[in-house]
Every structure is written in C-alpha cells, then in structure tokens.
Structure 1
C-alpha cells in the first residue's frame, strides 16, 4: 500500500495512492496523523473518500510524506561505498545527527538556496524509514514491526556550514531544502536491494543498491530506540551512497538552475528545481 499527503486549497489530507487515483482518508490531515492511530493500516485500506485522479494531481500538490514529524534522525556514513570515498573506516556504531521538520519539502517542490549558503550545496539521495508504532528499546522483530514503510529523501547539505565545526548539524537542516516523498510504501511491499539513483540535470551522479547499507533499517530502529523513544511518523534518513559532489575531484555542487532528481526502485521519483531563495 502507498500512502501520501496531498495539499488541498485549504489544508492537507492523507491519501491512499492506488493505481489510478489518490483516495482521501477522511479525518486525517496527513500521513503522520494517520500513523498516530494504531489501527492506521485498516483505516487506510478501507478508506473511500474523495478520489483524485493521479493524472490530475499537480506535481506541487504532493506534500512531504510526513510534513511535521516529531523527529527526523539522520544517519551518516552508512553505505560502504560512500564511507570508502570519504576515506573512512567502517563504523562500529551508527553516526547520528538531527534535522528539523522545517527543512522538509515535497517531492516536486523547489530547493531554495539562501544567498549566504549557496556555494557548496551537495546532494545526498537516501532511503527514508518511517515509523508506524512507538519503539523504545526494541530489537529484532519488534524493531521491524515498528516500521510503517519507506520513502525517498534527499539530505541536501550545505558543506561549508557542515564543516565549520566537528558537528554536522548546522549544514544539514537549512529550511526548505530536503525533498521527502512522493509517497510512503508500506514495509510489506518493499524489499531492500533496488537501485537508489540521484541525477543532476539528467546526469546520474549516484547509483547504488539499497542493500549496501552497513546498518539496515531494523538495526537502525533498534539502535536509536535505545537512546530515545521513536514515535509514529518519525523519520530516519538512513544515509547516502557514494557519488556525492563534495568527494569528487574537483568537487561539484548544486547551483540555481539545476534540477535534482532522486529515485529508489519501488518508491517513486523526486524532481526538484534548485532556485535562489527569495
């Protein structure tokens, strides 16, 4: 099953995305609100609200899958090929940092670059893990059962701000820079191993199977839940593969006028124009 959040004339609404239409899930303004109900799967499956033909939905009507999660936890250095290109050893434990919800944008929204931080902007295509149940100190099957599903995310990064200090956070959470969506695919319908692909102006810059992860989704949910409680709708950005612009010789960065495209087999495609913040 696919779930998404659609923008309407006055608000947003959670929808089930079928083969030809998005069906409103009455009573739920977004996927995060839906996942907060422990019976979310049954509610979504039986929804019969207003139907929106997919062909009639404007690209910018797709909001971030979960517009306002309580937490966005990001994982650094989690693909073996990216760790090698950055000249590091495989980690014993996940590297974690955070992102604020204000950074999230829809799958086809513009990435707005502020003038003071527009010169070293990098792409990081990622698999997003979305929680569908509370997770506190879980392991094994409990960790897997807490995952609602998966979506595409790009952790667009201001490298100059990232490396101003040993802590990466300040380069990772600029507002209106992180596309998330277009939809969530429930865990029972997604298998790791498909290609994660990032392109800049139709040139492929990242192409890696999603099972190259050092720490898989179950391991990440388990590890993070030892630190704090993960709530329904929380998001884990599981790390980026090799091919980032900062590691290239010479380095390459995004600029206004570029179009960034990110896709994962089975999870859809994002297309985001890069613009100057107004």
Structure 2
C-alpha cells in the first residue's frame, strides 16, 4: 500500500495512492484518525483492489508524507563512499541530528535556495517512517516498528553547515528538504533497496542499502535508545557518495534545477528549485 498526505479542493486529507488517483481514507476513518500519523499507530486498513478513487492526480497537491512528525531524526555519513569522499573517520555509532517539519516540502513542491547562500546541495536518502512506537527497541524487533519507506532529499546549505562542528544551521532552512511522494508499506518492498538521485535528468548518486555503514534495523535500535520513537516519526538514513559539494569543481543547486530522488519499489520524489522570495523579518 502507498499512503500519502495531500491537499484537495475539500482540504487536507490522507489517503491510499493508486495508479488512478487517491482514495480518501480521511473521509472514511477521520472520526478515529485525524491525520496519517494517528493512522500509522494502528493496523493499517485493507483497501480492496479496484476501489474507486476520490481524487485524480490533477486535483491534488502533495504534502510531506507525514507533515507533523514529533521528530525527524537524520543520520550523517552513513554510506561508505560518502564517508570516503568527505575524509571523515569511522565512528562506532550513527551520527544523529534533527530536522524540523518546516524545513521540508512535499513531492512537486519547490525547494527554496535561501538568499543567504548559494550552496544548497542535494542528498538522496531513504526515509523510514515509524508505525509502532517504542523505546529501546532491540535490533531483532526493529522492522516490526516500521510502517514504510519513502524518498527524502536531505537538502543541505553547506556554507552554514560548516559554520561550526555540528550540522544544525545547514539543515533547517525552510523548504530545503523534500519528503515524498508517499510511503510504501514494507510488505511491498524487497530487503535490499536501491537509491539514486538525478539533477536535471543526469544521475549524480546511485547506491543500495548494502553500502550503508549502519543498516536500518541498527539505526532504529540506536535512535530508540536516545529518543522515544512515536508513530509518524521519520528516520532519514544517510546519503551515498556523489554530493555536489564534493565534486571538482563543486556543483550546487540553482533556481530552475529539478532534483529527483528514486527508491526502487517506492517511487520518485521530484522537486524544482526556486529562489527564496520570503520577506525579511
């Protein structure tokens, strides 16, 4: 099953995505579940094959899959080739940092290059969406707590990321990260996932989960030691080699570019890049 949060002429809903459009689960289940986050906390509904859709794709706008997670936990330097290209030393544990919900946008929504810096970089990543919450989840039980997988672009403003020894300033500019278009439930996915990124149609990153230093189940175990994971929380599991800042010469995103993140068996997250038109405070 593919699940998404979208805008419609009737308002924001969550639903099941089919090849024909979106089935409005909010209308069917809204009395019990006001949003997708609350739905993920329970056993997911069965949507019959051929069920009629409520909205065609032309009628919707895509929001981040879970617009209101309690936390977005990201892992840095988690692919061997990316660690090698950065020259960083190995660590015994995953390097965790946080994003904020307003730093991300949905599928087909614009990524915003901030006016303060022209160093916006792409980072194709696999997003793990938590279904069953928990604390101190053992690795052997980790997949029982995962609702599904989605595409993520952990867009980074490199200049600000390097202002200090930690990543926060470069990872939270509004509208710099993409999340979507939907989550695909685990029953539809192979154990080994492929990941790629394209900028203006040219492939710039390509990897699979065999290249991870810390696999997904270990990330769930470690993150749940630090945090209490809640339904709808998002674990963003690291980017492979090929980021723009490590190319010679560096290549950063610019207005007019189009970035696509693809996970095999899940789909393609597509975002154009625009200038920051926001006013000063």
Q: When the two structures are superposed, what TM-score results if normalisation uses the length of structure 2?
A: 0.91
- The offset of 1:60, in angstroms, is 6.3
Please, which moves more after superposition, 153-162 or 137-146?
137-146
Correspondence list, 1:187-202, <5 A: 187-202=186-201
- Quick check: 2:5–2:36 contact (8 Å CA) kept in 1? yes
Partners of 1:15 and 1:241 in 2: CA distance: 31
Matched, 1:82 2:82: yes
Q: What is the 5 A alignment of 1:4-83?
A: 4-25=4-25, 26=28, 27=30, 28-36=33-41, 38-39=42-43, 41=44, 43=45, 45=47, 51-52=53-54, 56-58=56-58, 61-83=61-83
Partner SS for 2:255: coil
Query: What do the CA deviations read for 1:141-195 (whole angstroms, capped 9, x no partner)?
Result: 3221001110000000000000000010110011112111111011222224343
Q: Which whole-Å CA distance do the structure 2 matches of 1:79 and 1:273 have between them?
A: 26
Q: Distance in 1 between matches of 2:21 and 2:58?
A: 13
CA separation in 2, counterparts of 1:146 and 1:220? Answer: 12
User: Which is further off, 195-204 or 1-10?
Assistant: 1-10
Corresponding residue number in structure 2 for 1:100: 100
Tell me which residue corresponds to 2:112.
112
Partner of 2:133: 134
Aligned partners of 1:79 and 1:212 also within 8 Å: yes
Q: Normalising by structure 1, what TM-score?
A: 0.92
Change (3 A) 1:228 1:241: same
Mapped to 2, the partners of 1:62 and 1:47 lie a distance apart of 23
Q: After alignment, is 107-116 or 239-248 more displaced?
A: 107-116
- What CA distance in whole angstroms lies between the structure 2 residues aligned with 1:237 and 1:4? 17
Using the alignment, how far apart are the partners of 1:243 and 1:250 within structure 2? 12
Bigger CA drift: 67-76 or 80-89?
80-89
The 1:152–1:160 alpha-carbon spacing in structure 2 relative to 1, beyond 3 Å, is same
Residues 262, 91 of structure 1: alpha-carbon distance in 2 compared, 3 angstrom cutoff: same
Structure 1, gaps ≥5 residues long: none
- Alignment CA distance shift 1:217-1:105 (3 Å): same
Deviation at 1:138, TM superposition (A): 1.1
Distance 1:192 1:120, change over 3 A: farther
Q: Show the 5 A alignment for 1:123-202.
A: 123-202=122-201
CA distance in 1, matches of 2:193, 2:262: 10
Counterpart secondary structure, 2:180 = coil
68 and 252 in structure 1: CA distance in 2 versus 1, 3 angstrom threshold:
same
Shift of the 49–71 alpha-carbon distance from structure 1 to 2, 3 Å rule, reads farther
| Cα distance per residue 1:96-154 (max 9 Å; x no partner) | 0000001121111011122113x111100000000001120111332210011100000
Q: Secondary structure at the match of 1:129?
A: strand
CA RMSD, aligned part only? 2.0
Determine helix, strand or coil for the equivalent of 1:181.
Answer: strand
